[in-house]
Amino acid sequence: MFYREAGQFKSTYEADSAKFPIFQDKVFIWIYLAIGFFVIPYFGDEFFLGAIMIPFLVFTLAAIGLNILTGFTGQISLGTGAFMGVGAYACYKMTLAFPEVNILVFILLSGVFSALVGVFFGLPSLRIKGFYLVVTTLAAQFFLEWAFIRIPWLYNYNDSGAIEVPQREAFGVIVTGASASAEVRYLVCLAFVVIMTWFASNLISGRIGRQWMMIRDMDIAAELMGVRPLYAKLSAFAVSSFYCGVAGALMVFLWLGAAEVESFDYNHSFEILFMVILGGLGSLLGCFLGAAVIWILPVIIRDWLPPLVETLTTITITSSTADLVSDIIIGVMIVVFLIMEPHGLARLWAIIKQKLRVWPFPY
Amino acid sequence: MLKKMILGAASIAIAGSVYSTTPAFAEDTLYIPSLSYRTGPFAGAGTPIANGFADYFTMLNERDGGIGGAKIVLEECETAYNAQKGVECYEATKGNGALAYNPYSTGITLQLIPKAPVDKIPVLSMGYGLSAAAIGDKFPWTFNYPASYWSQMSSILQYIDANSEGGIKGKKIGFIYLDVGYGKEPIPLLEQLAPEMGFEWVGFPVGVKEMQAQGATWLNVRKERPDWMVAWSFGAMTPTAVKEAAKIRFPMDKFVGNWWSGAHADLEPVGAAGKGYKAANFSGIGTDFPALQDVLKYVVDAGKSQADKDDVGKVNYNRGLFNAVIMAEAVRAAQKATGKTAITGEDMRLGLESFVLDEARLKEIGLEGFTAPITASCADHEGAGSIFIQQWDGSDWNRISDLIPPMTDVVKPLLQEAADKYVSEQTDWQTQDCG
């Protein structure tokens, strides 16, 4: 009923190969965008925007970056956290050097630095794959973490060893620093995520994206058919790191406000890999779903379990217990999901959608 | 997509119900959030600190009915020593009328420093965080009583000077530190003081991943043969360092840790092997103080504490308790200055700048000899508190020195310089004129 396609005829190739071939999908996507841009900033309070939505968007962007590399090109990486760090440190150094420049320009540019570093650490992928590549990307993670501690120029010789986000403006509005309102920070994040998701989806369905997928499915066959692995693999590393770098800059500048090297450690690389696997490898929608489950669900459990249990029973749950419970629930969920639906939440949604298309008259 | 929408709608609904379930605080309460870490890698330190912090406020509620007639409402939020969860906790609690934040994590403190002037909630990072925050003119909203890391290091160096044959001149000091911002912070002071006091120093960084594998580091220590060792360690790094020092037969009474390297939890796993190891401290040891007896009587024995009775009086417990004492004294000062019982974060800031914790007041609140007197002021947010040295006797800590005041004349210019640098990187930074 929701997805009745009767009467929707495609008369051109463009219409047939559109991103959202079904009319209802087109409508829904505009509704989601309207909710994202108008409803949420209007109704969300500072906690909802600052502690739930902004991190969700940041992690979504990082997950898209990793998914381009792992889901679409088949190159597993454990260096995501460090590539995010490259973006954050690059953005910090640039904005300190040129304080009057629009910060949004630097957030985008920081992705370029991250892309360069990503290409460099992607070079081994031309020779090795699978577990061996995992090891070299993990080496990139450790090397970059080391660099963030040992090169004091990166954090401007601060005694604290941390980068502190200064107040910066874009188009006359304060975007970063403590005075920036949660609404502005959220809208900037959302704009980045929407535009970059749109760009990624076009990239993936275009010539470059098809090359990536050919490499993923069978690299020797792809090579025989004229795909150059050098360009395909390194462009995947570049684009992936670009997305991670922008996500890292957004994370520090629009969410955390200050960061030490721990904000980019390998735990984050794993966290984002979990988001991609749980959401669905090779699916952009999966990045959103994965980030939502891994980030938003624990926040909800941590904040809602203690008051809920207290009202329903006489037991008092401390916030540390709630934290442990949320870890347990998320862990169990990952295991259960991967057993029941190894292709992730995106696949689950595809099944639901297929059912909805014939509902209520399955034949 | 639909799923996303449902999820979004669910989270909006849940966010909406925040308002309905958050208890409406009555007029005369004092809301104090406690960013604790009872889980995660540093739970061993975080749990007793959170217990001591909570128990003192519970004791005030039970014994005196709160402070100035207003009950204290303490809410714990678990950060697991994770900076991201710290921000989440901050956002979740600040709207309830939080008086001040005590994050017990340098990472979280650094994130809160710029937010404090905007949200008008002061940050009290007691003996950690940004040393430069001691300069009150530049950091009106941040406090690090009773002393900054640099002040502490200068006191430790004076202790070494007084307790080695022929003074510190010509001696070699080994500095073993956790290779993050926290551990590297005293290095500028060492560089400044080494030529002035005539000692030589050599650094031994220990990466976070090598905290429990310091064999190679201590081989270097043996090669360098320092006369004294000073440690800036935390968590699992401390017992490992002490064990390794014992292994290379380093004279344990010439090994001094800072105040985060000398808790019971750090040395209990080492036991007798660590006998003689020293550490700095600023909060008294044991329960032989009237205030602690009250805590035992009204809170722990009454079953209102999460702490075991044995843990009361241990180093980290007392440190959390001392943190609560400073908070309570600041609340009192703020109440007196404003004439209100229920104060705000802004009033609390004034309180933190004006409370007086002198010998007489310490005796009055039942903590005579517990710590050095602190006089708060607008310009000096660290109070230049003195520290004492304690020694591990194989099963317990004992205080072995008098109070050692910091070398304010050396530390102050360095702090000023660091504060100026921090402020120069910020635009529209709010400072204050202390006259």
Is A184:A272 a contact under the CB 8 Å cutoff?
A: no
Asked if B12's CB is within 8 angstroms of A43's CB, the reply is: yes
Phi, psi of B31 (to 5 degrees): -95, 120
Dihedral (Cα; B343, B33, B130, B168), 10-degree rounding: 100
Structure confidence at residue B24 (pLDDT): 46
Structure confidence at residue B341 (pLDDT): 87
* Partner B, chain A 115-144, Cβ-Cβ below 8 Å: none
Compare all CA atoms of chain B with the CA of A263 and give the residue at the minimum distance: B83
DSSP assignment of B176-214, as one string?
EEESSHHHHTTHHHHHHHHHHHT-EEEEEEE-GGGTT--
* CA distance to A99, A120, A243, B202, per residue, from A113 (Å): 18, 11, 11, 35
CA-only gyration radius of chain A, Å:
21
What's the token pair of residue B425? 């990187």
State whether residue A160 sits within 8 Å of chain B by CB: yes
Find the helix packing angle between B149-163 and B187-197, rounded to 10°: 30
DSSP assignment of B326-390, as one string?
HHHHHHHHHHHHH--SS--HHHHHHHHHH-EE-HHHHHHTT-TTTS--EE--SSBSSTT--BEEE
Asked if A40's CB is within 8 angstroms of B427's CB, the reply is: no
Structure confidence at residue B23 (pLDDT): 47
DSSP A38: I
Q: Which of A166, A258, A261 sits opposite B180 (nearest CB)?
A: A261
CA distance B193 to B187: 10
Asked if B428's CB is within 8 angstroms of A322's CB, the reply is: no
Angle at Cα B199 formed by Cα B197 and Cα B203, nearest 5°?
125
Q: Which of B83, B113, B425 sits opposite A262 (nearest CB)?
A: B83
Domains and CATH numbers, chain B: 25-148+286-384 (3.40.50.2300), 149-284+388-414 (3.40.50.2300)
> Which of B11, B109, B82, B1 has the alpha carbon at shortest distance from A49?
B11
Plot region of B207 (φ>0 → left; ψ -120 to 50 → alpha; else → beta): beta
Element (H, E) at B287: none
Structure confidence at residue A193 (pLDDT): 96
Q: Which amino acid is at B57?
A: F
User: Helices in B259-314 by DSSP H: which ranges?
Assistant: 264-267, 290-295
Structure confidence at residue B69 (pLDDT): 87
Upper half-sphere CA count for residue B36 (Cβ side, 13 Å): 31
Mutate to test the interface with B, among A160, A275, A324, A359 (most CBs of B within 10 A): A160
Series of mean pLDDT values for 10-residue runs along chain B (435 residues): 50 47 60 90 88 93 89 90 88 89 88 90 89 88 89 92 88 90 86 91 89 90 92 90 92 92 89 91 90 91 87 91 93 91 90 90 90 87 86 91 89 89 82 81
Q: Which of A162, A288, A303 sits opposite B181 (nearest CB)?
A: A162
Structure confidence at residue B17 (pLDDT): 46
Q: Which of A167, A168, A319 sits opposite B76 (nearest CB)?
A: A319
Report the DSSP pairing between strands B228-232 and A173-176. unpaired
ipTM tops the 0.95 cut: no
Asked if A263's CB is within 8 angstroms of B7's CB, the reply is: no
pLDDT digits (tens, 9 = 90+) for A161-179: 888 888 888 888 888 888 8
Find the helix packing angle between A54-67 and A266-279, rounded to 10°: 80
CA B257 from centroid of its chain's CA atoms: 15
State whether residue A349 sits within 8 Å of chain B by CB: yes
Is B65:B71 a contact under the CB 8 Å cutoff?
A: yes
Asked if A296's CB is within 8 angstroms of B88's CB, the reply is: no
Asked if B426's CB is within 8 angstroms of A179's CB, the reply is: no
Delimit the domains of chain A by residue range.
21-263
CA distance B163 to B157: 10
Element (H, E) at B123: strand B123-124
Structure confidence at residue B8 (pLDDT): 52
Asked if A44's CB is within 8 angstroms of B425's CB, the reply is: no
Residues of B in contact with A52 (CB under 8 A): 11, 15
Compare all CA atoms of chain A with the CA of B115 and give the residue at the minimum distance: A178
CA distance B131 to B135: 9
Structure confidence at residue A349 (pLDDT): 87
- A130–chain B nearest CA distance, Å: 25
Phi, psi of B257 (to 5 degrees): -100, 165
Compare all CA atoms of chain B with the CA of A54 and give the residue at the minimum distance: B88
Q: In chain A, which residues have pLDDT < 50?
A: none
* CA distance to A4, A15, A16, A206, A337, per residue, from A358 (Å): 7, 22, 20, 31, 25
Structure confidence at residue A141 (pLDDT): 93
Asked if B91's CB is within 8 angstroms of A47's CB, the reply is: yes
- A239–chain B nearest CA distance, Å: 25
CA distance A236 to A213: 10
Structure confidence at residue A318 (pLDDT): 81
Three-state SS at A217: helix
- A51–chain B nearest CA distance, Å: 5
Mutate to test the interface with B, among A146, A320, A337 (most CBs of B within 10 A): A320
Q: Sign of dihedral through CA atoms A204, A208, A210, A211?
A: negative
Structure confidence at residue A241 (pLDDT): 96
Structure confidence at residue A223 (pLDDT): 92
Q: Which of B110, B115, B426 sits opposite A162 (nearest CB)?
A: B110
Element (H, E) at B257: strand B255-257
Residues of B in contact with A323 (CB under 8 A): 39, 78, 80, 85
Residues of A in contact with B16 (CB under 8 A): 43
Structure confidence at residue B66 (pLDDT): 87
DSSP assignment of B68-104, as one string?
TTBEEEEEEEE-TT-HHHHHHHHHHHHTTT---B---
State whether residue A298 sits within 8 Å of chain B by CB: no
